[in-house]
Chains A and B, each alone.
Chain A
């Protein structure tokens, strides 16, 4: 069965520092990978997605993610975090004929 793990429940970084959020998946088929962000009281907003081509994907708000098939990972990165980036981040995986599965999320706190 497909699964998505996000090993870090909560991460705290200082404003201006770099950020990497981890995502690992277990999928039998070719996965389609997504990162969503959820701010308090808000719905989920798509940051970026990967389904083919260049394994380094650029998204909105300065985020990028790299698909590494050998490591079954799709980690999200940002070179310089802003206070407004504090939110919950969800990795999600889909595949043809399979349900869309979300990871448990990583909560990001940003110190001034």
Chain B
């Protein structure tokens, strides 16, 4: 079974530029999550999708971050414009339904973003 795929693996941009990350979850998984992991910290949930609908985006900085999952499969996370403090690893995860309590989330390798 293929895992969660993410691209690119690394990205370096200058502040005020735009950047987009792509995630393809495990086949058949209804729920998709985007996390931000700043160096030395644990991952922080940015947004959770259930199929193509948003379940929780309370911690997403909506003035600069956006995410979509149009067909309920893969997803794109965008930052526009980027700030220095956006430098982090962006992790995508998926789970089969997102509805079962204690359901396992499976993580991709992450995209490491450096904003100069």
Complex alpha-carbon distance, A96 and B107, angstroms: 21
Complex alpha-carbon distance, A101 and B33, angstroms: 13
**Complex interface: chain A residues within 8 A of B106 (CB):** 46
Query: If the complex has contacts A90-B42, A90-B43, A103-B42, are A43 and B104 also in contact, measured as CB distance less than 8 A?
Result: no
Query: If the complex has contacts A45-B107, A105-B42, are A51 and B102 also in contact, measured as CB distance less than 8 A?
Result: yes
Do B4 and A43 touch across chains, with their CB atoms under 8 A apart?
A: yes
Do A43 and B102 touch across chains, with their CB atoms under 8 A apart?
A: no
Q: Can you show 30 pairs from A to B with CB atoms below 8 A apart?
A: A32-B101, A32-B102, A36-B107, A42-B109, A43-B4, A43-B108, A43-B110, A44-B43, A44-B91, A46-B105, A46-B106, A49-B102, A49-B104, A51-B101, A51-B102, A90-B42, A92-B42, A94-B101, A94-B102, A96-B101, A99-B58, A100-B33, A100-B45, A101-B42, A102-B42, A103-B42, A104-B40, A104-B41, A104-B42, A105-B41
Give the top 10 A-B pairs by smallest Cβ distance, nearest first: A102-B42, A51-B102, A43-B107, A44-B107, A32-B102, A43-B109, A102-B43, A104-B42, A43-B108, A90-B42
Given A44-B43, A101-B42, A104-B42, 13 more pairs with CB closer than 8 A = A32-B101, A43-B3, A44-B93, A44-B107, A46-B106, A50-B102, A90-B43, A92-B42, A99-B58, A100-B105, A101-B45, A102-B43, A105-B40
Main secondary structure, interface of A, reads: strand
Residue A41 interfacial (CB < 8 Å): yes
**Complex interface: chain A residues within 8 A of B56 (CB):** 99
Chain B contacts with A in 32-67, Cβ cutoff 8 A:
33, 40-45, 56, 58-59
Chain A contacts with B in 74-106, Cβ cutoff 8 A:
90, 92, 94, 96, 99-105
Q: How far is the CB of B40 from chain A (nearest CB, A)?
A: 7
Chain A contacts with B in 41-86, Cβ cutoff 8 A:
41-46, 49-51
**Complex interface: chain A residues within 8 A of B109 (CB):** 41-43
Complex alpha-carbon distance, A32 and B56, angstroms: 19
